[in-house]
């Protein structure tokens, strides 16, 4: 028994070491450019200078760049806003120079010495304010943070640079493409939003990734024989793990948005390294349930009577695990609640995220408090081992799905790297079952295990340098761009917008159930409805901005714009049926 416990602890420690190593490497890379030589570099205002002007049809920007410095093409952004609305403008670029950039770890288009950018004039009325966003680096190694500059365009088109933004926008009901963002809902609706968050969290337990974890935790109640107060402790430890994880996610999203980044629910699945770690985790869990390793029950809190210390910790981390694996899913009631959360004060937003987590933890917490519910649970027996093995299959199926997502992010080479990493991790965990008697053999075994885990970590980190191809199953759709949507709205063309991602389980269910029917595409063609798809598998600021504009923090998002100039869209439910989307198409044509 002692050797078994030590083996479990060693294996758990090694799995934690792998995750910590990858995280530490990430942090080291993110802060790789030194600031010790900062005095040798130009101030950002001296390195990059811009002249902004307007004509009868365009906004023009001429950039002058100091020698040895460059600007990123993909980091340029231009927004116009007045007292009523905000509009993101499409930029027209000159050809730049292709350069492999170590900061973004991929080949990008950059500009040296000077460049010229232009955009059509915004549709909002003058006077208005322009916000110009840019980012650049020096060849010597320093990268500046994104820079925001503000310019006032008066009623005659004259441009004056400002020290900072001097406008606060409010929502415009007249134009959905240019309406202001982050319009907070009235406070009387907050209790309903909290209730929606609770219901959304409750429904998350039925998702295919989460349900096996919850089932395994429930099985521990059937076999533990704990007293009532101990059951309560496990229930609250699990709840603390779930709620705490949701609050951490909320803090990351809110902090990033405050800094100008566009993050939403499920943002971590846009990072190939995180997807790989999640695949490793599900692989280890699945193999553990088959009995190959003796670490699963303590890690997931299932199947054995646990001691007071490790058992409570296990319940807590089961809650953390359940919250992590729920991130690809957006349940009904969740989207409005999360959207409102990101438009409120930090305190209110955290309350809504905590409510979502509490709703997810509620079934297990209720089970820990209700003896009657516990009485309905089956008695312990050999059937539990069979059920554990059955529950391993959806976990391994999830690995296949994660590798499919990874293939679109990092290509076949990245997927091969992760499969090799999975093989090394499996081999390292298999080695933990051995207990050599001599010190020399023990050291050799530990060195071999560490080498395997370090090799797996190295391979996993390398997948950031590979790129995959986007999903090719959208042949009946046009790619979403803000300019295309705006052009269609301004001409009164009906539009169906589908924001999706390969890692979004709800999106894939809808694509199979609702969008696989030829009747949908036939009816869209008959009515002249343009189908736009925004693929958020990888980060995309345009899609993130559209989500934010309509107070949504995640996907899926389905919108139908009617054949009325600059009309508000109808936002469809997150779970679709073939009949519901055809009815929505019919409603897009005004009589």
At residue 57, the pLDDT reads 80
Q: What are the boundaries of each domain within the chain?
A: 38-162, 185-465, 478-587
* DSSP letter string, 38-68: GGGSPPHHHHEEEEEEE-SSEEEEEEEE-TT
114-120 and 58-65 beta bridge pairing: antiparallel
The pLDDT tens digits for 38-91 are 446 788 888 999 999 888 888 889 999 999 899 999 889 998 888 777 888 888
In the block, which residue shows the tokens 């990245």?
414
At residue 165, the pLDDT reads 61
Q: If one looks up domain 38-162 in CATH, what number appears?
A: 2.60.40.1250
CB 298 within 8 Å of CB 314 = yes
φ, ψ (nearest 5 deg) of residue 535: -95, 115
Three-state secondary structure call for residue 8? helix
Question: ∠ CA 113-114-119 to the nearest 5 degrees?
Answer: 155
Give 485-488 contacts, CB < 8 A, sequence gap 24+: 485/177, 485/532, 485/546, 485/561, 486/123, 486/177, 486/178, 488/530, 488/561
Instruction: Order across the sheet with 159-162: list the strands.
Output: 86-89, 77-81, 128-134, 147-153, 159-162
Q: Kindly state the DSSP code that residue 126 receives in the 8-state scheme.
A: S
State how far the Cα of 137 lies from the Cα of 100, in Å rounded to an integer: 13
Is the bond preceding residue 556 a cis peptide, omega within 30 degrees?
A: yes
Q: Which two tokens stand for residue 326?
A: 């729920």
State how far the Cα of 521 lies from the Cα of 465, in Å rounded to an integer: 37
State how far the Cα of 394 lies from the Cα of 212, in Å rounded to an integer: 8
The segments of the chain whose pLDDT lies below 70 read 1-40, 102-105, 164-190, 206-229, 253-254, 256-269, 293-311, 325-345, 371-384, 387-388, 467-473, 553, 590-591
Same fold, 38-162 and 478-587: no
The answer to pTM > 0.75 is no
- Give, for 367, the enclosing helix (H) or strand (E): helix 346-369
Architecture of domain 478-587: 3-Layer(aba) Sandwich (3.40)
State how far the Cα of 399 lies from the Cα of 204, in Å rounded to an integer: 19
């Amino acid at each position: 028994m002692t050797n078994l416990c030590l083996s479990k602890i060693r294996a758990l420690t090694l799995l934690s070491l792998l995750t910590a190593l990858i995280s530490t490497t990430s942090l080291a890379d993110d802060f790789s450019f030194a600031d010790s030589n900062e005095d040798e570099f130009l101030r950002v205002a001296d390195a990059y200078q811009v002249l902004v002007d307007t004509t009868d049809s365009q906004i023009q920007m001429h950039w002058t760049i100091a020698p040895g410095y460059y600007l990123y093409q993909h980091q340029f952004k231009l927004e116009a806003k007045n007292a009523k609305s905000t509009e993101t403008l499409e930029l027209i670029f000159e050809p730049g120079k292709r350069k492999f950039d170590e900061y973004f770890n991929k080949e990008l288009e950059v500009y040296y010495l000077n460049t010229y950018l232009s955009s059509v004039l915004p549709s909002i009325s003058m006077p208005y304010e322009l916000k110009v966003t840019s980012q650049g680096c020096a060849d010597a190694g320093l990268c500046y943070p994104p820079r925001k500059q503000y310019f006032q365009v008066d009623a005659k088109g004259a441009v004056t640079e400002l020290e900072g933004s001097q406008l606060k926008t409010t929502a415009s009901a007249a134009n959905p493409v240019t309406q202001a963002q982050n319009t907070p809902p009235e406070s009387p609706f907050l209790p309903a939003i909290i209730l929606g968050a609770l219901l959304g969290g409750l429904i998350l337990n039925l998702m295919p990734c989460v349900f096996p974890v919850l089932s395994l935790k429930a099985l521990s109640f059937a076999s533990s024989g704990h007293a009532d107060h101990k059951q309560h402790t496990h229930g609250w430890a699990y709840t603390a793990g779930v709620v705490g994880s949701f609050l951490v996610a909320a803090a990351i999203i809110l902090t990033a948005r405050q800094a100008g980044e566009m993050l939403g629910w499920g943002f971590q699945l846009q990072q190939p390294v995180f997807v790989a770690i999640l695949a490793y985790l599900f692989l280890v869990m699945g193999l553990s349930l088959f009995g190959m390793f003796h670490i699963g029950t303590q890690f997931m809190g299932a199947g054995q009577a646990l001691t007071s210390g490790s058992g409570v910790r296990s319940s807590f981390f089961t809650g953390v695990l359940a919250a992590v694996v729920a991130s690809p899913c957006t349940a009904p009631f969740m989207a409005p609640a999360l959207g409102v959360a990101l438009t409120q004060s930090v305190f209110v937003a955290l309350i809504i995220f905590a409510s979502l987590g509490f709703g997810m933890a509620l079934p297990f917490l209720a089970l820990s408090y209700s003896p009657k519910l516990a009485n309905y649970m089956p008695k312990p027996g050999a059937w539990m081992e069979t059920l554990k093995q059955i529950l391993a299959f959806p976990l391994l199926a999830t690995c296949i799905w994660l590798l499919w997502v990874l293939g679109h992010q990092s290509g076949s080479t990245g997927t091969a790297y992760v499969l090799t990493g999975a093989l090394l991790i499996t081999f390292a965990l298999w080695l933990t079952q051995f207990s050599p008697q001599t010190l020399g053999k023990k050291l050799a075994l530990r060195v071999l295990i560490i080498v395997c885990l370090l090799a797996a970590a190295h391979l996993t980190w390398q997948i950031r340098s590979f790129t995959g191809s986007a999903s090719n199953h959208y042949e009946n759709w046009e790619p979403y761009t803000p300019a295309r949507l705006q052009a269609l709205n301004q001409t009164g063309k009906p539009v169906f917008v589908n924001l999706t991602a390969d890692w979004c389980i709800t999106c894939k269910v809808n694509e199979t159930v609702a969008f696989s029917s030829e009747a949908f595409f036939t009816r869209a063609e008959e009515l002249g409805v343009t189908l736009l798809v925004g693929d958020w598998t990888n980060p995309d600021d345009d899609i993130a901005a559209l989500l934010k504009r309509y107070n949504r923090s995640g996907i899926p998002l389905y919108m139908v714009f009617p054949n009325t100039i600059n009309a508000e869209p109808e936002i469809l439910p997150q779970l679709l049926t073939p009949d519901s989307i055809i009815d929505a198409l019919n409603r897009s044509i005004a009589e």
